[in-house]
Amino acid sequence: MTKKALNPLRMKDWEIAAAAEDQMKMVYQLAEEMGLEQVELLPYGHYVAKLDFIRILNRLKDHDVGKYVEVTAVTPTPLGEGKSTTTMGLVQGLGALGKRAMGAIRQPSGGPTFNIKGSAAGGGLSQCIPLSDFSLGLTGDIDSINNAHNLAMVALTSRLQHEFNYGDALLAKKKLRRLNIDPRNITTGWTIDFAAQALREIIIGIGTKMDGFMLRSGFQITVSSEVMSILAVATSLEDLRRRMAKIVVAFDKAGAPVTTADLEVDGAMTALMYRAINPNLMQTIEGQPVLVHAGPFANISIGHSSVVADKLGLRLADYLVTESGFGADIGFEKFWNLKCRMSGLTPNCSVLVATVRALKMHGGGPPVAPGRPLDPVYTEPNPQLVEKGLENLMAHLETIKKSLVNPVICVNHFYADDDEEVAVIRDAARQLGVPMAVSRHWEQGGKGARELAEIVVDACEKPARLRFLYEADLPIKDKIARIATEVYGADGVTYTAPCEQKILALQGDDELSKYGVCMVKTHLSLSHDPALKGRPRDWVLPVRDVLVYRGAELIVPVAGDIKLMPGTASAPAFRGIDVDVHTGKVKGLF
């Protein structure tokens, strides 16, 4: 099938992906073009593979490092604004310029894949394929995370039961020391990779004493697990193993932490994860390599492709394009102050993705809701509404500039966008002195992203600089306040009384005081309130809880009403997903 036959105006994304898959490169060809040796490729079928990153990095340790490009966005509508599509399009656009380019994106979660947002493989003629492999488990990394996390909970709950039922003599006979776990102070629950709101709060251990210790518990979505954050930031298998041992699952009755090492489950958890640390290799519709590793949800997790994937891509390509989750207030801020600090990498350029649709919403347009038709205001010309919405773009641009990273603006062009509306954004970019491109990658693939690729190449020729928002040893509340006021635009921060007590205890620990802050808040607003659009003013960030991820080395404040387990909507995507029983191909994914 020729490229012209793939028409995004007449075909659904999954239909385009299915047609493109008939002519995609086998993974062996892709690896050869990347300069990989056969022993470095760990195939999963003919079109997907894991890469032995330790072997590759050891071989290429003296190799030149490519240009490092990050993709972020304005505050999105609930429908998303096409960051993954833009990431794929930019890789393809760089390829159209003759550059050796590679993408690094996150593996989708089953929650959004079967719910509203879809699998985030991109769209139109800028997608990561094969789509069904990408969307439905890939090589099992998320299953490994799920199993490792839940094994820790099995160890914890069984230990609670045995310590309650057995005396010290019997525990000693079984070579167990009494941990005196406080059942009222369990710090984590279980994981499942679906949006299962009915499992947020549960009671476990109902029955006899042989059915476990009864206590209140609950589930979070798998990609919000600390184990996922560890996969994202670990730099080696040794580092992964070290971090696994530090995970705190509860406190004892004296208030001391109980870790996975105390439960002697850390080694088994690492055994479940040892394959997952190798990044996954896929490709764009136009045949450029894409590394897929770690998970999404930057609003409730770190939400980035892994440090390992980025380091690998920078050794294998001249340009590595990596994606951050949601808007720059969440995704870029965490990329900047967490991922870059942990990896030691300095980006050459940040691409701020905007859409006319999102800017109209921030300018006062009607609410945008998944599953409902768009209001005509989003498909009819209205330059004035776009202009009013520019304040949201300005806020995110200011955030990028504070990091000293070179910014460019990308208007992800929707086919219904009006030229006058786009001109409003271009005029604003010109006044700000920031390069801007209108990219038509969704409709035209790499050819439509050439203008974007050209301004990214130019930006990457400027000196690469990076200045963190806060020093590592800044007090925890000061770190939170700096993010809230300088990135979100809040007037200050308030804490619940339990939060105040937790933070006071944390600040007495020299190690914890150096951890980065990984904020949990809505992605639908610069504030904590998803209803506040544009650039909210005169508000205060309410922090209701503070979690500590000792393994990932993160302090995790929880702001507003956001939860670690999303809910499934009334019109979920799984209703349209099926398998063609004659060809064996999955249909209906998006």
As annotated, the active-site residues are 83, 85, 106, 117, 298, 326, 414, 442
- Decide if 396 contacts 359 (C-beta within 8 A): no
The answer, yes or no, to whether the previous bond of 536 is cis (omega within 30 of 0) is no
Q: How buried is residue 98: exposed, middle or buried, by Cβ count under 10 Å (0-12/13-18/19+)?
A: exposed
From CA 247, how far away is CA 414, in angstroms rounded? 44
Can you say whether the dihedral through the CA atoms of 381, 387, 393, 397 is positive or negative? positive
Segment holding 105, helix H or strand E = strand 101-105
Q: Please give the structure tokens belonging to residue 243.
A: 């971090």
**Of residues 188, 191, 218, the one with CA closest to residue 203:** 218
From CA 539, how far away is CA 527, in angstroms rounded? 8
List alpha helices for 335-461, DSSP H. 340-343, 356-362, 383-402, 419-432, 441-444, 450-460
From CA 303, how far away is CA 335, in angstroms rounded? 9
Q: How far is CA 326 from CA 13, 69, 275, in A?
A: 21, 16, 28
From CA 26, how far away is CA 125, in angstroms rounded? 19
